[in-house]
Amino acid sequence: MSHKPVKTGLQCLLSAFYADFRSQRCGLIMHPASVTANLETSAEALIKAGFNLDRLFGPQHGARGEKQDNMIESDSYRDPVLDLPVYSLYGDVRKPTPEMLKGLDTLFFDLQDVGVRVYTFIWTMALAMEACAENNVKFVVLDRPNPLGGIKLEGELLKKGFESFVGLHVIPLRHGLTCGELALWLKNQQNINCDLDVITCKGLSRDMLWQETGLPWVMPSPNLPTIDSCFVYPGMVLLEGTNISEGRGTTRPFEIFGAPWLDNHKLVQHLNSAGLPGVIFRVLSFEPTFNKYAGQLCYGAQIHVTDPYIFESVRMTVEILRMAREMAPDDFNWRPPPYEYEHKRWPIDILWGSDNLRREIDSGMATDNILDGVDDELRKFTRQVEPYLLYD
């Protein structure tokens, strides 16, 4: 079935008059995927449309998306083309300061999220909402589609005590919300009482995956180059908490994984016979150019998603971790801290949202048992967010 192309919140803002916003002094949180359907940056489009854009803010990987690896901080600078200050929100400062917001009437948020709790853009949004509430600045989400759709949720909910910059509030690993929906939930359920507006997408429905939106894919961060990367990301991001390469330093990060000590033929044979829905695995060897095992030969696999509608990235990754631990108990290790500004807890624990996964894999528990009870949690979360859903 073909659809008319979805109009993002940015495009809806530009196509309507919105006199109140045009008369105000505005800031914009943006990155390279903050574009119109014609691939013009949101900053340039807003200026051309007569908005008084006064300053820009950049999240993790920078407003220009130039920081290739993860956990590389960005500096503030002045944009040489637009001649506007650009404030970094990934570094020592992750929440806009009163000085950054001084004189602003409205702060626009126009980041392309990927629907996963540990992807930091939604927490940049949450902290910016807090700052706007404290400094009497209006916060406006220019909504964009969740590339993974809004039907399927995966993974355990974050548990109290495991909060970090890859999970500030209690949501699942794959949460099924757009940024606009999450902002409404944050305001009403987490008491971030800012003056909030959400400019919704037009033509978007909950069951749409990215390829049905008619929008061009622009990578929101350097290691999610394709929509295929996004489908595997909700689970494969967990490899960041291990000594298995998640494929950073290759052309297909998160779709490729491995390690010098992995028996990839045995692993792939197991995975392809494990009844994992919508996916097949291919034996692969690779040498990462940076990150884990840079320049070393890794034995691994490439993930080929055959049906994204039934594919379960989290279940798949739990099975990968469980088997790697079982097959190579002397080589497989959990990555030690620090990780994403957390210096005490294991990275896998803040990624998963509790210490359950690490403890249960170490004990040899089966995947079904590890995931037992997660569906009940997800159903409760679905009921909790229902009042804030914007798309049928």
Give one DSSP letter per residue of 197-235, joined into a string. EEE--BS--TT--GGGS-PPP--SSTT--SHHHHHHHHH
- Average pLDDT value for residue range 177-198: 97
Q: Could you tell me if 52 and 25 are in contact, meaning their C-beta atoms sit under 8 angstroms apart?
A: yes
pLDDT band at 99 (very low <50, low <70, confident <90, very high): very high
Q: Which CATH architecture has domain 9-216+384-388?
A: 3-Layer(aba) Sandwich (3.40)
For every residue of 140-198, DSSP letters joined together read EEE----TT-SS--EEEEPPTT--BTTBSSS-EEE----HHHHHHHHHHHS-----EEE
Report whether pLDDT(8) > 60: yes
Instruction: Using the predicted structure, report yes or no on whether residue 74 has a pLDDT greater than 90.
Output: no
Query: What's residue 365's pLDDT?
Result: 98
pLDDT at residue 153 is higher than 80: yes
**Residue 285 backbone dihedrals phi, psi, to 5 degrees:** -120, 150
pLDDT for 1 equals 45
The percent of residues above 90 in pLDDT, for the chain, comes to: 92
- For the segment 104-142, what is each residue's pLDDT rounded down to a tens digit? 999 999 999 999 999 999 999 999 999 999 999 999 999
* Domain boundary assignment for the chain: 9-216+384-388, 227-371
Burial code of 226-251, b = ≥16 C-beta within 10 A, e = fewer? ebbbbbbbbbbbbbbbbbbbbbbbbe
Residue 249: pLDDT over 50: yes
Mean of per-residue pLDDT scores for the chain: 95
Q: Which string of b and e fits 98-135 if b means at least 16 CB within 10 Å?
A: eebbeebbbbbbbbbbbbbbbbbbbbbbbbbbbbbbeb
Residue 287's pLDDT band, with cuts at 50, 70 and 90, is very high
73 against 194, higher pLDDT: 194
Judging by DSSP bridges, how do beta strands 154-157 and 196-199 pair with one another? unpaired
Task: Note the pLDDT of residue 62.
Answer: 83
Using CA atoms, how far apart are residues 215 and 230, in angstroms rounded to an integer?
15
- Over the stretch 345-378, which tens digit does the pLDDT of each residue have? 999 999 999 999 999 999 999 999 999 999 999 9
- Mean pLDDT confidence for 159-181: 98
Looking at the domain 227-371, which fold is it?
A: Aspartate Aminotransferase, domain 1 (3.90.1150)
User: Stretch 98-104: mean pLDDT, rounded?
Assistant: 98
pLDDT above 90 (res 316):
yes
Mean pLDDT of 222-237: 97
Q: Which alpha helices (DSSP H) does 309-366 contain, by range?
A: 313-327, 347-352, 356-362
Averaged pLDDT for residues 386-391: 98
For range 88-115, the mean pLDDT? 97
User: Closest Cα to residue 270, out of 326, 325, 323?
Assistant: 323
Are 234 and 173 contacting, i.e. CB atoms less than 8 angstroms apart? Answer: yes
pLDDT band at 61 (very low <50, low <70, confident <90, very high): confident
